[in-house]
């Protein structure tokens, strides 16, 4: 019975750490880019877009599709960096505890 009590205490501590990490992710800002930095997107740790910066040379009213693709590419670059950051922070928090393949923590 003592083991179950310890497990519950550890689960509560882990939940508190997860909540702290989720709150801190709103403060993290990561940039992604495309077209050699002519399109830059900034997202927070929850993958919410915060800023878009465009070089004037990529803004062509006659070719909007290219600009749309560049923004998507920059966002995807930033999102990939955020996912890497979250994975690193989660690994630190869990003290090296490995999750089974395919299992992810909810965010």
Give pTM, 2 decimals: 0.73
With 80 as the cut, is the pLDDT of residue 11 above it? no
Average pLDDT over residues 3-25: 79
pLDDT tier at 106 (50, 70, 90 boundaries)?
low
pLDDT tier at 7 (50, 70, 90 boundaries)?
confident
Token duo for residue 54: 């465009």
> In this predicted model, what pLDDT tens digit does every residue of 41-65 receive, in sequence order?
999 988 899 999 999 999 999 999 9
* Nearby residues of 50 by Cβ (< 8 Å), 6 or more positions away: 29, 42, 43, 44
pLDDT at 98: 56
């Amino acid at each position: 019975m003592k083991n179950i009590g310890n497990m519950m205490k550890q689960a509560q501590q882990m939940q508190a750490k997860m909540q702290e990490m989720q709150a801190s992710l709103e403060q993290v800002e990561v940039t992604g880019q495309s077209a050699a930095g002519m399109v830059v997107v900034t997202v927070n740790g929850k993958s919410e877009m915060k800023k878009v910066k465009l070089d004037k040379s990529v803004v062509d009213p006659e070719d909007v599709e290219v600009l749309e693709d560049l923004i998507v590419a920059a966002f995807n670059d930033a999102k990939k960096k955020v996912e890497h950051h979250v994975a690193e922070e989660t690994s630190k928090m869990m003290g090296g505890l490995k999750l089974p393949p395919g299992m992810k923590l909810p965010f």
